[in-house]
Structure 1
Amino acid sequence: MKQLVNFLLIVAIFFSPVFCFGQKIKVACVGNSITYGAGIVNREKNSYPAQLQVYLGDKYEVRNFGSNGATAFHEGDYPYVQTEAYKQAIAYSPDIVFIKLGTNDSKPQNICYQQDFKSNYLELIRSFSKLTSKPRIILLSPLRCFLPEAAPIKDSVIRSALVPVIEEIARKEKLEYIDLYDLMGNEYDASLMPDRLHPSSIGAGRIAQKLYEYLKPENYDPNPCTHPICGNEYRSGAGWKEGADWHAVSEEISQITSSQKLDILFLGNSITQGFGGNRRLVTYKPGKAAADSCFTHLRWESAGISGDRTETLLWRIRNGGYGKSEPAYVFITIGVNNIIAGHQVNDIAEGIKSVVQESKREFPDSKIVLFGLLPVGLEKESERRQKCDAIHQLLKLQNWGDVLYVNPTPWFTQENGELKTELYGGDYLHLTTKGYEVWCQHIKDVLSLISEIK
């Protein structure tokens, strides 16, 4: 009898909506314009549900059921339960539901129904809990709003009148709850919320990462530097043509590298992007003349993208098709944006190691040269420099096999450890034209060294 019960239990689990073989775990993101991705360039790829899909991988199917202006209030000016997005979310019969409403409920014409907020919110929840898929329901708090108090959407109302009710509902109904209120910080940051209300693609990335870390799926990687994800940069300050986003820039690199054989391919972030190459979407190319001068008889291309970290470069190497260019040499310079993002030194070093391993798979016949990251921070005692040096200490201890590891720090620093200021811009991170000339000359020396070893 016991064996029969165990068998039936296994069958029940195996054929349940979440565990059925070959069936993806369906995730519904329910919400307002913040979920929809209003104002985000290329929102189909950069909204937080879209970015969450990349984090979760192929075993999940994440769908965006956000609706601009939606309220939890049934009597509000745009009730979510009356939207087409709501009907589609119910018909989707998800396995996991993230519900993120409340921001628009703070408007004067809506908050007048404050006494109904709890009951209306509960009705929405129960409409999902009644589904045959019996979804896991996770409530999300509204984000902090940075609009002035005179604006229709009021942060004071969100904070004092709505967030506490959502927390109470989660507690009493024994539902999961994720507090996103302070996720964008305590002070306004234009890169995260350009209009003070809606997250940018970068801000949406923060939400996606938070949800991924909460779910901890089967492929969960606790090291943010080694889990391949798409980038979410979008700003014109990234050195791109106005309107271009990370995906457009990444796709252009794939088109270029798939159409020609190369002698040299540079992989990296904005510092590598500064070489420019033949990329039309890149508008700032302070290193192109130096590279053209040093590598006159070589076909080279820059596959650097502003803002890239080890994890985003990992994704590009894995998905960009760069191997079609069959480069003779691959130069890797990555990691500084991981420092800026606040990642741990050990994690960054592991991320760089993962980039090298992925490069070896993608470029099996290429000579790979790892620079790690160029020195940053004016003084040797600066926090960024200390992290940079600590990463190089870890890289130095690795057995790189047939990969050549070269620490470029001495090329850009004086005897006392300070940066050579004429080689850097005012941020002590990006190179000047002179800096690229020095870098290219040393790369030329490295190529000569490799030739001598051969």
Structure 2
Amino acid sequence: MPQIIFLLSLFLNFLGPAPTVNVACVGDSITYGAGMANREKNAYPRILQEMLGEAYAVNNFGVNGRTALHRGDYPYTETEAYQQALKSEPDLVFIMLGTNDSKLQNRRHLADLDADYRALIRSFQELKSDPRIVLLLPPAAAFLEDTSSIWDPVIRQQIKPVIQQIAYEEELELIDLYPFFSERPDLMPDKIHPSSLGAARIARRLYETVKMERKLPDLPLRKRLSESGEAFNYHGYQGKKLEINGRESRIVQPKWTAPGNPWVWRARFWGHEPQTDIALLERGFHLVYTDVAGLFGSPEAVRIWDDFYASMVTAGLSERVALEGMSRGGLIIYNWALANPEKVAAIYADAPVLDFKSWPAGKGTGKGSPNDWKKCMAAYGFENEAEALAYLGNPVDQAARLAALEIPLLHVSGLADEVVPFAENTGLLAERIRQQGGAIRTINKEGIGHHPHSLKEPTPIVNFILEAYGMLPNLAIVPQPAAEYRSAAGWPEGCDWHCNHEDINRLLSNSTEVDIVFLGNSITQGTGGQRESVTYQPGQEAFSRAFAKYHWINAGISGDRTEHLLWRLQNGPYREAHPKVMVVTIGVNNFAHNSAAEIADGILAIDRYLTAHLPETRLIISGPLPTGLQPDSEQRKKYEAVHEALAAELPSDHYYPIGKEWLLPSGELHPEFFSKDGIHLARAGYVAWAEALQEIVDQLMK
């Protein structure tokens, strides 16, 4: 056996290391990282490099102020970075230009943008490396008011459509970054350039693009669409308008298909608030629509949908479909799902009609629509209004069935909706489903009426659908550096996340006989210790007293999530320090970004890494400390779900769910132990935490 292993190693050495995938990030100051803290480490190409790892070489070819226009004030094609990008013979090229083309002095040349942008693309297409090319639509500049400078209306109305038309004709991939920043001025401190936190968002999205499994759209549907229908450009994607089974229909194809050929089926209002649809096309979903607008989800509408579904599955699409219904579209998606539950992957309903007595009848608090009410009664075949009002087949009447079917449900609704009142539709259905022990996710928009639908930044909706198909990547297990930079994190001015990482590494490197390393986020950071980079230390006194006889190091960094801690462990001298005990308290900062299962997987990945690389270190894995002021809060529910998963998977001698004893008999967080945010510890909480840990550490040290 040793001889076989030796020969195998010789063979692998002969083959050489695995080839590196060269990635070229082409762009302007947004790619370069202008204006952000610690650009060299926080520009999105650098973060992407850290996420992708050694098998990739990600190069930043961004140059400040550059235009795609050849006659712009500072053309990108005249830069040394452009020449270096070509010489790098990339396997993958991300191109993000157009922001500076919106400046007043460049607008007079916008007629050239199509030709100049195509020439730039062609220069990469002609390389021997034959790279995959992905066009990035520039982020929003919606917060800048100087119309002579970069101007958002020009980006949105003139530049984006040109790039989308090129992508449509050249069949190039697109990623729309515009929505990412359209409502997030906090991620654009100077109103133009993303902060390091904004750059991290871009990097995570591009990581998905690089790693997502793709296949060519070689379905029977593709051939069928090439032979019939009226072609149209749907935001850069190939669309066809055609008649299927006698109904007006539309089908939009992605540039490539995701495994299983997933699709989203829109019920009504084609093209309205398309953010979610575009984001799913980016990820390999087909988008389809067939018009049953005047049938109000009646049995006839369900029959038409049955026929359309059969034609789509025969053409190669998945047998399970994600349903999307806005307003009156809610009736058809729910009625069809109840008739065909095994065919439904998920339901996304947006300000949906769920009871025709509410709309169009207007028998509740809404105004209704008399003309539509007549059409609705006719579609269902009711002889009179009394018969219609006695009908108990509306979606709100089917809560028990929906709860039992366990179809993933997401509703987005305006709480001030006077057309389709929330309380009579989504609110009522959600209440009944939960009473039956079922689950439904709701995103309720305060002060918003029936319009606008959807979310400008559709990530929560997109992730919901990806999760339903088992396609949502778990970034909580992908090691990556954080990009936090703000002094509000408890750091001195000018000290960012990397400064803290280096401060911890210094302590580890300069220490001998380390007894304890406390790993975590801001809660752990608050224990103070010898950290020079921490200004807020509410737990210093309690931890110094409890662990006075030990040499301990505080390795907590504010804002850290599981993925950041994984990266720190792999890029810091933790193994060389040989700590006797490591205390890991992590996960609460993942709550806004990940499901309970994903968070638990991130914590388990940390445990596996430590077990493999520090086998003689005793581990105290706490997961997140209690959070959520009330026992029925979403924070508390996620906390409980994370710990349920950890209890089932972690070795019993690693798992220490500290803090459950700090809850009041009512289930509320102890007000003396926790701050008002229901997350961070007060000084009394640090005392309780130190005492609980001291007992465990003393026992392990024996």
**TM value normalised by structure 2:** 0.59
Measure the CA separation in 1 of the matches of 2:671 and 2:663.
Answer: 9
CA contact (8 A) 2:673 2:683 kept: yes
Corresponding residue for residue 494 of structure 2: 243
Residues 19-44 of structure 1, C-alpha deviation per residue, up to 9 Å, x if partnerless? 99643111110000000000122211
Measure the CA separation in 1 of the matches of 2:578 and 2:698.
Answer: 20
Measure the CA separation in 2 of the matches of 1:27 and 1:89.
Answer: 9
Residues 260-302 of structure 1, C-alpha deviation per residue, up to 9 Å, x if partnerless? 1211110111111111111111111111111111111111111
CA contact (8 A) 2:518 2:582 kept: yes
| CA deviation after TM superposition for structure 1 residue 447, in Å | 2.9
Measure the CA separation in 1 of the matches of 2:166 and 2:682.
Answer: 55
The change in CA–CA distance for 1:399 and 1:272 in structure 2 (over 3 A counts) is: closer
Is 1:92–2:88 an aligned residue pair?
yes
Corresponding residue for residue 229 of structure 1: 480
Give the residue type in structure 1 aligned to 2:613: E
Corresponding residue for residue 323 of structure 1: 575
CA contact (8 A) 2:26 2:85 kept: yes
The change in CA–CA distance for 1:21 and 1:217 in structure 2 (over 3 A counts) is: farther
Corresponding residue for residue 408 of structure 1: 658
Choose the corresponding residue for 2:183, options 177, 184, 187.
187
CA contact (8 A) 1:422 1:434 kept: yes
Structure 2: which 5+ runs fail to align?
A: 1-14, 214-470
Measure the CA separation in 1 of the matches of 2:571 and 2:63.
Answer: 31
Corresponding residue for residue 79 of structure 1: 75
CA contact (8 A) 2:604 2:650 kept: no
Measure the CA separation in 2 of the matches of 1:312 and 1:143.
Answer: 25
Corresponding residue for residue 191 of structure 2: 196
Is 1:134–2:133 an aligned residue pair?
no
- Larger deviation: 278-287 or 422-431? 422-431
Give the residue type in structure 1 aligned to 2:192: L
> Secondary structure in 2 aligned to 1:28?
strand
Choose the corresponding residue for 2:35, options 35, 39, 46.
39
| CA deviation after TM superposition for structure 1 residue 127, in Å | 1.4
Measure the CA separation in 1 of the matches of 2:691 and 2:52.
Answer: 43
Measure the CA separation in 2 of the matches of 1:244 and 1:368.
Answer: 30
Corresponding residue for residue 337 of structure 1: 589
Corresponding residue for residue 11 of structure 1: none
Corresponding residue for residue 170 of structure 2: 173
Measure the CA separation in 1 of the matches of 2:632 and 2:179.
Answer: 32
Measure the CA separation in 1 of the matches of 2:185 and 2:692.
Answer: 38
| CA deviation after TM superposition for structure 1 residue 413, in Å | 1.5
Choose the corresponding residue for 2:633, options 382, 399, 404.
382
Measure the CA separation in 2 of the matches of 1:399 and 1:137.
Answer: 43
Larger of the two Rg values belongs to structure = 2
- Larger deviation: 41-50 or 353-362? 353-362
**CA RMSD in angstroms, aligned pairs only:** 1.9
> Secondary structure in 2 aligned to 1:441?
helix
CA contact (8 A) 1:147 1:153 kept: no
Structure 1: which 5+ runs fail to align?
A: 1-18
The change in CA–CA distance for 1:270 and 1:109 in structure 2 (over 3 A counts) is: same
Residues 63-87 of structure 1, C-alpha deviation per residue, up to 9 Å, x if partnerless? 1010111111111111111122212
Give the residue type in structure 2 aligned to 1:32: D
The percent identity for this pair of structures is 47
Give the residue type in structure 1 aligned to 2:59: R
Measure the CA separation in 2 of the matches of 1:242 and 1:217.
Answer: 39
Residues 92-129 of structure 1, C-alpha deviation per residue, up to 9 Å, x if partnerless? 22121111001111111111111111011111111111
Is 1:431–2:681 an aligned residue pair?
yes
The change in CA–CA distance for 1:379 and 1:183 in structure 2 (over 3 A counts) is: same
Residues 149-195 of structure 1, C-alpha deviation per residue, up to 9 Å, x if partnerless? 334111111111111110110110111111111123x31331x2211
The one of the two structures with greater contact order (alpha-carbon pairs below 8 A, sep at least 6) is 1
Measure the CA separation in 2 of the matches of 1:189 and 1:108.
Answer: 23
The change in CA–CA distance for 1:399 and 1:428 in structure 2 (over 3 A counts) is: closer
Measure the CA separation in 2 of the matches of 1:391 and 1:178.
Answer: 32
- The equivalences for 1:360-375 within 5 A come to 360-375=611-626
CA contact (8 A) 2:659 2:689 kept: no
| CA deviation after TM superposition for structure 1 residue 319, in Å | 2.0
| CA deviation after TM superposition for structure 1 residue 306, in Å | 0.9
- The aligned length equals 429
The change in CA–CA distance for 1:110 and 1:134 in structure 2 (over 3 A counts) is: same
Is 1:420–2:670 an aligned residue pair?
yes
Choose the corresponding residue for 2:106, options 104, 110, 117.
110
